[in-house]
Amino acid sequence: MDQSSSNSPASPAAIAKPRVRFAPSPTGFLHVGSARTFIFNWLYARRNDGTMMLRLDDTDVERNTDASVQSIFEGLKWLNLGWDEEYKQSERGALHRKIAEAIFAKGLAYRDFTPAHSGESDRSGAQGTWLFNPGMRELSAAESNRRAAAGEPFALRFRVPREGVRTVHFNDAVYGEQVKAAADIEDFALLRSDGMPTYHLASCADDVDLRISHIIRGQDHLTNTFKHVLIFEAAGVTPPQFAHLPLLVAPDGTKLSKRRHGSVVSVTTYRDAGFLPEAFINFLCLLGWSPKDDRERMTQQELVTAFSLEGINRANAVVNFKESSVGRAPSPANVSQSSPVVVASEARDQSAYPEETFDPKALWLNAEHIRALPVEDLSARLLPIVRAAGFSVTPEKILQITPLIRERIKLLRNVLTAADFFFVDQLPPYDSAELIPQRETRPCP
C-alpha cells in the first residue's frame, strides 16, 4: 500500500503544487467531521492541481480494528471523490524510528528510563502540569548509553528548548498567528518504551517523507501543532502550511461525538437515509466555509472552482439535528469486538429515522439536488431502493414513474411512500365512502 519513493525529505515549502492528506484513525465509523476534513483537502488539491493522499494513521494497535477500516472505506467510497495516493502508517515504522534516531543524534531528544512514566505523577509547570523529569533530561550521555546497552527500557522524549525566552509559532491559514512559550510545552514522547512511535512522531515523519505541503485538519489538533512544528524543525524541514477547521457541534453546542450523539454523526447514516452523496458533500461544505456570494446549492465542479482556505470561518458550525431522535453508538468495547458487518452497519437501518431528525438545510439541499438530476440518473438511483423493498419492478417502469414524483421527494427512500401504489398489482381494500368529499353540515335555523 505504501507508495512513497522519496529518499530524502524535501522542504514542503519548496513543493510547487500542493500535496495534502486525509489521515483518519480506524477506531470507528467515518465521522461527518472527518468526512468534511477529507472533502476540504480534496477540494483544495483539485482547485490547485495538487495531490490528494489517504493515509490510515493505524499505529494505535489497541484501538484500531479491521471493521473500522472497512467502515471508513465504505463511507469514502460513497462520497465518490477518490484520492491519488494511499498509505498505511503501520507499514512505515522503520521510517518513523529512523527520523526519531536522527533527532536523538542531534541532541534534540533524550532517553527517559522512568518505569511506566505517564507524565502525570510529577507536577512542575506553571499550571501544575507535568513538563519534564530533570533527572532524565540531564542524564549524561555515558550513563544513558550504559543503561540502554544493558537493555533497560526507555521512552525517547523530545528535548523542548527551555533556555531563554523561546517561543514556538506558526501562521494558521484560518486562525492567524499562533504563539506559545516553549516553557509551557512538555517534553513529549517520540517513541514509547516498546519502541512504537507516538502519534506526534509518526504523523510528522510521514508528512516529511510524503512531502505534505498543507495540513488541513480539525481545530482540535491546533494545540498539537506547536509540538509538530518542533519536530519538523528538528527533522530539518520547513513546516507545512497549517489550516485548522472549525469544529462541528450539536444544537446544544457540544462537539459532535460518536459516543454522545451516536449514528447521526456517521456518514453511512446519511447514505442509508437516502441522501445523494453530492448533496451531502454540498451540505458539509457549507458547515464552516462560504463561497462569499450567497450560493447554497452547488455542483461538485462549482465547489472546486470556488473553494479557498480564505473562505473558511473561525466559528464552530452547528449541525441542527434533533437529538431526541438520535440513536446511540455502541460502546468502544463493543465496537472493538464487533464483526466487520456490525461496525459497517452501525447506521444501516436508518429508514426508521424520521426526516426531522436531520438538519433542515441538509434535507432542502438534497431535494434541490434530486430535482436537478436528469430523470434517467434519478431513476437509476431509485431502482435499487425499490427492489430492496421487495418490489419486482423493471427499469422501464421506474423511468416512467420518476418524473411524476421527482418534485415530491426529499430523500431517495421517499420513493417507497410517494410511489408505492405503482408497485402493486392490486391496492389493499378500502372503503369507497372515503373517496366521497364530506360537506360540513349545519343545523337548520
Task: Please return the burial class of 115, using the count of CB atoms within 10 Å of its CB with bins 0-12, 13-18 and 19+.
Answer: exposed
Pairing relationship of beta strands 155-158 and 189-191 according to DSSP bridges? antiparallel
Give the three-state DSSP class for 310.
helix
Q: Please, what sign has the CA dihedral across residues 142, 144, 145, 151?
A: positive
- In the chain the first and final C-alpha atoms are separated, in Å, by 88
In DSSP notation, 379-442 reads: HHHHHHHHHHTT----HHHHHHHHHHHGGG-SSGGGHHHHSGGGS-SSPPP--GGGGSPPPPP-
Q: Please, what sign has the CA dihedral across residues 137, 138, 141, 147?
A: negative
Q: Which three cell numbers stand for residue 169?
A: 509559532
Contact status, residue 247 vs residue 33, Cβ threshold 8 Å: yes
**Catalytic residue selected from 98, 106, 255, 258:** 258
Q: What's the rounded Cα separation, in Å, for the pair 364 and 144?
A: 64
Q: What's the rounded Cα separation, in Å, for the pair 422 and 392?
A: 11
Q: Which three cell numbers stand for residue 157?
A: 522524549
Contact status, residue 267 vs residue 28, Cβ threshold 8 Å: no
Q: Please, what sign has the CA dihedral across residues 436, 442, 443, 444?
A: negative
Residues in the chain: 445
Q: Please, what sign has the CA dihedral across residues 340, 342, 348, 353?
A: negative
Task: Please return the burial class of 355, using the count of CB atoms within 10 Å of its CB with bins 0-12, 13-18 and 19+.
Answer: middle
In DSSP notation, 158-191 reads: E----SSS-EEEEEETTTEEEEEEGGGS---EEE
DSSP β-bridge partners for residue 172 = 176, 242
DSSP β-bridge partners for residue 317 = 248
In DSSP notation, 196-256 reads: PBPHHHHHHHHHHHTT--EEEEEGGGGGGHHHHHHHHHHTTSPPPEEEEEPPEE-TTSPBP
88 catalytic residue (yes or no):
no
Contact status, residue 102 vs residue 231, Cβ threshold 8 Å: no
Residues serving a catalytic function are: 258
